[in-house]
Structure 1
Amino acid sequence: MSKLQKKKPQSEKRKRVIETADDKSGVAVKSTVEKKPVRSLSDAGTEKSGQPMAGNFFARTAEFFREVKVELKKVVWPTRKQTTGTTVVVVVFVFIVAVFLGIFDYSLSKIVQVVLT
């Protein structure tokens, strides 16, 4: 068996080396990250043990909402002033586009009216 055909142990298969540049020194830093095993689409409705997940619905739903709560705590929400400012910009932009489209529609309808009569 050649070197290419040798099978790696399971622990080595899941590891991946990532090379990144250190911000301060610019030196490349290698770090090892363990990859999670990829589940196929045929496994979508089953747990790792092969059992259907239907009986675990409420536990999974509760876990989902716990994770949502944790992620929402990480969100940096805009201030009232930022929200008001961006809302005003959107309303003004919509008004300008509406006026432009109105003028364009009116002029095209007049052109069609002149051509047809």
Structure 2
Amino acid sequence: MSKERTTRDGDTSGSTRQDGAESTEASATTRSDTPSGKPTGKRQGRRSSAGVEVAAGSVKSPERPKPDTKVKPARKDRADKPRRDNIFKRLRRFFREVIAELRKVIWPNRKQMITYTSVVLVFLVFMVTLIGVLDIAVIRGVTWLFG
């Protein structure tokens, strides 16, 4: 217990593995013995499985199942395509999703709606006036120039 505690509390003289042998390479790469207990951000070097033991405290990744080696014939059948639902089922699902999204919307109250509408109308009147004045100015300029 005391060896584990000294290793955990910052004894950097070299970490010892469970079998008692010192492994300075393992302590240099893993650094799980830092006083704060946080990793240093260094990656542990990958080791080949031929004759090299995994350092104590390192996590061995779980083995993943190997993919099937069977090769399917390269022909396109109707079975390969994903089956599409009935048009009515798709429309029903679409409208359900639309209603669900509309329920998430924060709707404006009456005062906000009046404010937003008046801002839009004032901006619209301003832009119509500006474009109208520019249009009249361009027409008068063209008639004066070519007129």
Tell me the residue number matched to 1:52.
83
Structure 2 unaligned blocks of 5 or more: 1-45, 48-62, 66-77
Structure 1 unaligned blocks of 5 or more: 11-45
Q: How many Å apart are 1:50 and its aligned residue?
A: 4.1
Largest Rg, 1 or 2 = 2
Tell me the residue number matched to 2:74.
none
CA 1:57/1:82 → structure 2, altered by over 3 Å: closer, same or farther? same
Q: Which is helix-richer, 1 or 2? A: 1
Q: How many Å apart are 1:81 and its aligned residue?
A: 1.2
In the comparison of the two structures, how many residue pairs are matched? Answer: 75
Q: Percent identity?
A: 33
- The structure 2 residue matched to 1:78, chosen from 83, 108, 115, is 108
- The structure 1 residue matched to 2:131, chosen from 76, 101, 104, is 101
Q: How many Å apart are 1:104 and its aligned residue?
A: 0.9
| Distance (Å, rounded) in 2 between the aligned partners of 1:61 and 1:99 | 44
- Does 2:145 align with 1:115? yes
Tell me the TM-score normalized by structure 1.
Answer: 0.50
Q: How many Å apart are 1:67 and its aligned residue?
A: 2.5
Q: Which is strand-richer, 1 or 2? A: 1
Tell me the residue number matched to 2:68.
none
CA 1:61/1:107 → structure 2, altered by over 3 Å: closer, same or farther? closer
Tell me the residue number matched to 2:13.
none
